[in-house]
Structure 1
Amino acid sequence: MSDRPRGASPKRESGRAGLRRSRVKEVWIRKKLDINLIKVNTIDKVVKGKQTS
């Protein structure tokens, strides 16, 4: 244990956790954008349907 520097493993762990967190955030943002796009599309369809009828 004494041969390994003290801060080596926690740093690596936090780096990996940070990568995972950013990946999750990216997916979450993408999902949110997708939901917004779907909402906009449905609203557009409804508005167009109302205009034509």
Structure 2
Amino acid sequence: PTDFTRGTRVEADGMTQRLDRLPLPEAEKPRLKAMTPANYIGRAVTLVDELK
């Protein structure tokens, strides 16, 4: 949902609590919780490659 964090400050503890409430497979939650701006860049590489 696009309003997952809209209007709120995004911090690690709050994100963990939000992820716990989502209807996701339990096996995926630890992987998502381990993501940080330092270790996950999403689709950035793909998007840059599309610009070339």
TM-score w.r.t. the length of structure 2 is 0.28
Structure having the higher Rg = 1
Higher relative contact order (CA 8 A, sep 6+): 2
Structure with bigger helix share is 1
